[in-house]
Amino acid sequence: MNEVTVSPTGQTGRLTEFFRGLARRHGQYRVYRQTLSELQNLSSRELADLGLHRSVLRSVAYQAAYDV
């Protein structure tokens, strides 16, 4: 499926892009919070099975949400 993106111009276009970016960032933040919450709810043994330590949970959640 091909997707065509039209870049709007003028004040309306800038406002549209602003709100799209805001919605995208909000979605990423929600993924971060959800991922972090789920990881924090795992036991130490479950985290060890995944090869994770509690000290890296924020980093792992950030990578998951922001594709870093």
What is the band of 3 on the pLDDT scale with cuts at 50, 70, 90?
confident
Close Cβ partners of 64 (under 8 Å, ≥ 6 residues apart): 31, 32, 35
- pLDDT tens, 38-63? 999 999 999 999 999 999 999 999 99
Mean pLDDT of the residues in the chain: 92
Percent with pLDDT over 90 in the chain: 79
Query: 63: which 2 tokens?
Result: 């990578």
The pLDDT of residue 4 is above 80: no
Which pLDDT belongs to residue 23?
A: 97
